[in-house]
Amino acid sequence: MVASGCDGTGLPHYVLNNLTQCQTRCITGSEIKTPAALFLLKQRGQTMHFDHLMTDIAHTVRGKGPCWVHNRCCTLSDEHLKNLDLFVSGFSCKLNSAANSRRWESDPIDLEKPECQTFVQSVEFVKKYSPKFYLFENVLGACKTRGSGQTESPKAWYERYLSDNLPEFTHQSVIVDALPMSEARSRLLLLGSSVPTFSALGWASQTTELNDICSKFFRHDAATNFSWSEKGPSTYLVNLKNDVDYHRCFAEACQSLGVEEKAVAAKRLLESDKPKPVEQRASQTLKHMAPWYRAQADVYEMMLEGAGIGKSDPLADLSQTVDRGHYRSDGCLNVLTTGAMWYNFAKKGFMTKSDYMVALGFGKSDMNADCLTLSELRDLCGNGMRAPMLIKAFLPILTHLKFFQKGTAE
């Protein structure tokens, strides 16, 4: 039996259900955001089976509160919660992210801030119900100190907090990625075990071994695995002013105008690089989009051609500015952020809803995302975990729990 808190997509339950051949029972989950809750409710009874879905992890800890499933206040069964095998939780990562400008202004380990409460409440759940194992997930930015004046990283604080508040558990942290999927997406996992015969150190060691094995596999090619048939957001304004704005945005994206660092200043383009004639640029197929996106596409195209197009389709994330954004010519993805808009220059399209489901690790026909807009789905995808990462972490404890034996496969 498992429970989850703030995992965003229900993927931990989905992965466990597939690994155990539907022998996993999810007692409760918790989602404060409406889109995430609606997505999970849409899957309930199809590919996911959970008894309750509380509106806040604080209600899950309390054992009573509003429930999305039953649309009323529900009381959780203490008997079930006291016999949990695993608790999985993601906790707020925005203030730990190295890409977040607020990282240097706001403290992610300030107990007075709401961003810290998902971690604190997750620990409170483990303290109250004592599952055999727990798994907490966060971004790699948690491993870094917050500046020259700081000596302790958020990760070190998390580890000390866990040791102080959960003395009956062994604790270990490990970095795990999502390879061999197209998006590597390394994440920090905080693992805990209350089982004397299988410590957190042993769990982390086996997880690392699986991670090393998977890193040697061929990486999935996003260019061929996804359909790339989404055309992107439309402004519905195709006029002369748009063309004028496009040329201004293109010039700003190429060179530093004012204080912003752009492609030339960031040394991603040379001042001598010459753009193609307007009618031959990638933006000619994106005229329905805002001038800024069209300009980004053309500058990324120049950067890709300068780097040498690889054997696979050239890709770029048009949501990111050209001085620091991601682009690839090998068919792989760097990262799917909450606002990611990866564009395939060869197929002239963006990732669809189905593509985002596959990127998470769901089966293409398993999930129904009709209740979400593409923007909401991107948000879920950016915050959600990844199936390969969870598989690497779950296999050791499932083996310990005798779901299958080492060295055997069906």
**CATH classification at residue 74:** 3.40.50.150
Which pLDDT score is estimated for 106?
Answer: 59
> Do residues 286 and 205 both lie within one domain?
no
Residue 95 tokens, joined: 């203030």
Residue 213 lies inside a defined structural domain of this protein? yes
Which pLDDT score is estimated for 196?
Answer: 95
Which pLDDT score is estimated for 410?
Answer: 46
- Residue-wise pLDDT for 238-277, tens only, equals 677 788 899 999 998 887 554 455 888 888 888 888 889 9
Sheet holding 342-344, edge to edge: 327-328, 315-317, 342-344, 349-350
Q: Is 64 helix (H, G, I), strand (E, B) or coil?
A: strand
Whether pLDDT at 409 is above 50: no
Looking at mean pLDDT, say which of 101-110, 253-262, 313-322 comes out highest: 313-322
The Cα 203–Cα 394 span in angstroms is 9
CA 238 to chain centre: 35
Residue 363 lies inside a defined structural domain of this protein? no
> Do residues 211 and 271 both lie within one domain?
no
pTM of the model: 0.89
Q: HSE-up of 322 (CA within 13 Å, CB side)?
A: 28
> Do residues 46 and 134 both lie within one domain?
yes
Residue 80 lies inside a defined structural domain of this protein? yes
Residue 374 lies inside a defined structural domain of this protein? no
Residue 410 lies inside a defined structural domain of this protein? no
Task: Decide if 352 contacts 229 (C-beta within 8 A).
Answer: yes
Residue keyed to tokens 């849409």: 42
> Do residues 209 and 271 both lie within one domain?
no
**Looking at per-residue confidence, does 111 or 155 come out higher?**
155
Which pLDDT score is estimated for 104?
Answer: 54
> Do residues 304 and 182 both lie within one domain?
no
Phi then psi dihedrals of residue 370, to 5 deg:
-65, -25
> Do residues 342 and 383 both lie within one domain?
no
> Do residues 294 and 342 both lie within one domain?
yes
Count of domains for the chain: 2
- Residue-wise pLDDT for 186-220, tens only, equals 999 999 999 999 999 999 999 999 999 999 999 99
> Do residues 158 and 249 both lie within one domain?
no
> Do residues 236 and 209 both lie within one domain?
no
Domain end (from 315, 331, 351)? 351
> Do residues 20 and 102 both lie within one domain?
yes
> Do residues 234 and 202 both lie within one domain?
no
Residue type at 230 in one-letter notation: E
Q: Where in the sequence is the domain holding 150, given as residue range(s)? A: 2-220+379-400
Task: State the pLDDT confidence band at 306, using cuts at 50, 70 and 90.
Answer: confident
Residue 388 lies inside a defined structural domain of this protein? yes
Residue 26 lies inside a defined structural domain of this protein? yes
Percent of the chain with pLDDT over 90: 47
> Do residues 325 and 389 both lie within one domain?
no
Residue 110 lies inside a defined structural domain of this protein? yes
Looking at mean pLDDT, say which of 134-138, 239-243, 302-306 comes out highest: 134-138
Task: Decide if 231 contacts 288 (C-beta within 8 A).
Answer: yes
